[in-house]
Amino acid sequence: MNTVQRSRNRALLRFVLLPMIFLTVALLGGLRIDVDTHAFIFIPPPLITLILSVLLMTLFIRGHAIELRRWVTSEQSTLTNISHVLTLLTLYFASAQALNSVLPERGLLFWLFSFFFLWTLWNNQFSNFDARRLLRSLAVLFGTAFFLKHMFLASLFAPEGGWAKKVAGFLLEVGTLGTLDYQVFAPATGYISFFTLALYVGGLILLTPSPEPEERSALALLRAYQNLPPLERMTVRASIMEPQTNQPALAQEVSTETETIEIRGEVVEAESEDTLAGEKEKGKR
């Protein structure tokens, strides 16, 4: 693959494919299907999801999943910068709608799930992340919320469930004084949410830290070192210092070999002189 084709593929990815993926997530994240009429219901993102999306975007920047200074820079044309800003905006709204798809719609469960996301994302602001570990963490976070909402709670509050599920749901409502209000949707809503989250995670995988490939430099290596956990930093420092500590021993070995060679040379030279002297004496006799 030549350079022109690679540049064309990168442009197609960041100008067409990524915005389409994130726009699709933004459209499907609020889509629900009514359990009785099977009509489409669109639920706008709550205010808390917009706040959580700000924390997510901050994590993307801190974890170097997005190099903001390379997405928007004076070295690029105005049209390119506008396109990059729009792509980042679609990522922001896609994050809000991905959160919207796994949050319960109302009641105590909505606030419990919101607090769960808020607490997790806020604590992650003070942790060291790289892009790969951040992606794994988000996949686990969204996967857990998806399981709790669309599998556990949907099965617990399903209208066609058995008497045991109905009794358990009734006891939960009584135990929480009626604040555990869960809105039931058709099972197809779970499939839509799963497809939405899969698209969102796939878009994050395709999202590159910078629009153009960045050459490896000392600054990039230093940034990667700073993102490592303390234990891995110690390993890197030990591996860097190990050759330096071995250099004196290596120099000593080299000097010893040199001295040995010189001594051997003197011995050989002395032997050759003795041999010549013996031959001269034999000639005189």
User: pLDDT tens digits, residue range 31-71?
Assistant: 999 888 889 999 999 999 999 999 999 999 988 888 888 88
Supply angle C-alpha 49, 28, 124, rounded to 5. Answer: 35
User: pLDDT tens digits for 98-155?
Assistant: 999 999 888 788 888 999 999 999 988 888 777 888 888 899 999 999 998 888 888 7
User: pLDDT tens digits for 236-253?
Assistant: 778 887 655 555 554 455
User: pLDDT tens digits for 180-234?
Assistant: 666 778 889 999 999 999 999 999 998 887 776 654 455 556 666 666 677 777 7
Q: Which residue has the higher pLDDT, 90 or 125?
A: 90
The pLDDT value recorded for residue 28 is 93
Mean per-residue pLDDT of the chain: 77
Per-residue b or e along 156-176, where b marks 16 or more CB atoms closer than 10 Å to that residue's CB: ebeeeeeeeeeeebeebbeee
- What is the total residue count of the chain? 285
Placement of tokens 């915005």 in the chain: 19
Q: Which residue has the higher pLDDT, 19 or 242?
A: 19
The pLDDT value recorded for residue 131 is 80
- Report the predicted TM-score, pTM, of the whole model to 2 decimal places: 0.69
Distance CA 114, CA 97 (A): 13
User: Could you give the angle at which helices 131-147 and 47-62 cross, rounded to 10 degrees?
Assistant: 150
Placement of tokens 């009641």 in the chain: 107
* DSSP-assigned states of every residue in the chain: --HHHHHHHHHHIIIIIHHHHHHHHHHHTTEEEBTTT--EEE-PPPHHHHHHHHHHHHHHHHTTSS-HHHHS-TTS-HHHHHHHHHHHHHHHHHHHHHHHHHS-SSHHHHHHHHHHHHHHHHHHTTS---HHHHHHHHHHHHHHHHHIIIIIIHHHS-TT--HHHHHHHHHHHHHTTT------B-THHHHHHHHHHHHHHHHHHH--SSSSPPPP-HHHHHHHHHTS-HHHHHHHHHHHHHHHHHHHHHHHHHHHHHHHHHHHHHHHHHHHHHHHHHHHHHHH-
Looking at residues 71-88, what average pLDDT do you find?
A: 88
